Amino acid sequence: MELTGTILRGREFEPVEGRVVIDDDGRIEAIEDAPVYSSDIILPAFVNAHTHIGDSIAKEAGGGLSLEELVAPPDGLKHRLLRAASREELVAGMRRSLEYMERSGTAACLDFREGDVDGVRMLREAAEGFEVDALAFARGSADAMRDGDGFGASGANDADFGRERRATREAGKPFGIHAGEVDESDINPALDLDPDFLVHVVHPQPVHLERIADSEVPIVVCPRSNLVTGVGLSPYEELAERTTLALGTDNVMLNSPSMFREMAILSKLSDLPADEILRMATVNGADLADLEYGLLEPGREARLLVLDGDSDNLAGARDPVRAVVRRASVDDVRDVVFAGPA
């Protein structure tokens, strides 16, 4: 298979006019610089580094509620709605969100999975037939983590999580944890667990920034979610100076799982350059889960997105990376190519 257009190659997303050659094993065989007659923009498919798609049954529920009233376990609105829903409703809701992700060019999501072992199995069932890698960062028990792809802790103020952290390390799987979403009180305890990544980190103090820099622990930021819940915004530039950032859309209850929207919002709320934001939406998230895609380079799995550079929205764009980050949308998607093994 060959695709032609402006290729956003490598970690710097250098625009290359030419063709991407994909071999029979679903890997990028070559990226060739050559004159082509295509206005398409070819980029890596997205990796959504933090989702909760179980609450797809409750979109826009709970307007005006605080974060704790919305999602705090065990009796936040989200958890009450999850308990009241049938298994069939939950699986069907997750399937709709995964369908949207696939259509909008998301190759993988790192889903913090409620429901213990059965929650992991529901996500597996929901993902059947889709090419999106729906990775289950389980909650509830070490057994759920072993069934899933890692452990996704709610926050160090909710429980100790030391036993789950040890079990996750022994299983050789990643451990992520929410930290600093409402205030700074759970950041140090979360860092004490030596996590593979943190989520949110809206309220770090200087001591936390020093620890983050020393440990180089990656952080997943979720700007639209933080805006909706009113907790504030992460200090994106300060965090980016100290560690690797990835991007997530968080609860489907609060926001659509659109990486286009998440990038555009972040580009307007921060001074981060467009290429850094695109890395956050692709390879940085892929690295958290040790995925073999997220970049367009020979040897990588061919999971990529083709945008119509001549759409009414993108025609005339002078900087393709800025155009992708700041203005592209699902309406500009010409093709989604998940040629690599799903």
**pLDDT, tens digit only, all 342 positions of the chain:** 999 999 999 999 999 999 999 999 999 999 999 999 999 999 999 999 999 999 999 999 888 888 888 888 888 898 899 899 999 999 999 999 999 999 999 999 999 999 999 999 999 999 999 999 999 999 999 999 999 999 999 999 999 999 999 999 999 999 999 999 999 999 999 999 999 999 999 999 999 999 999 999 999 999 999 999 999 999 999 999 999 999 999 999 999 999 999 999 999 999 999 999 999 999 999 999 999 999 999 999 999 999 999 999 999 999 999 999 999 999 999 999 998 654
Cis bond before residue 74 (omega within 30° of 0): yes
Which CATH architecture is the domain 2-45+293-338 placed in?
Answer: Roll (2.30)
> Where in the sequence of the chain do the CATH 2.30.40.10 domains occur?
2-45+293-338
Handedness of CA 80, 101, 282, 234 (dihedral sign): negative
Among 313, 310, 251, CA closest to 77: 251
Are 42 and 5 in contact by the 8 Å Cβ rule? The answer is yes
Residue range(s) occupied by CATH 3.20.20.140 in the chain: 46-289
| 234 Cβ neighbours under 8 A, 6+ residues apart | 200, 201, 202, 219, 221, 223, 226
Could you give the CA distance from residue 282 to residue 43 in angstroms, rounded to a whole number?
9
Query: Strand, coil or helix: what is 252?
Result: coil
Instruction: Please give the CATH superfamily to which domain 46-289 belongs.
Output: Metal-dependent hydrolases (3.20.20.140)
Strand-pair partners of 27? 301
> How buried is residue 297: exposed, middle or buried, by Cβ count under 10 Å (0-12/13-18/19+)?
middle
Residue 151's beta-bridge partner residues? 138, 175
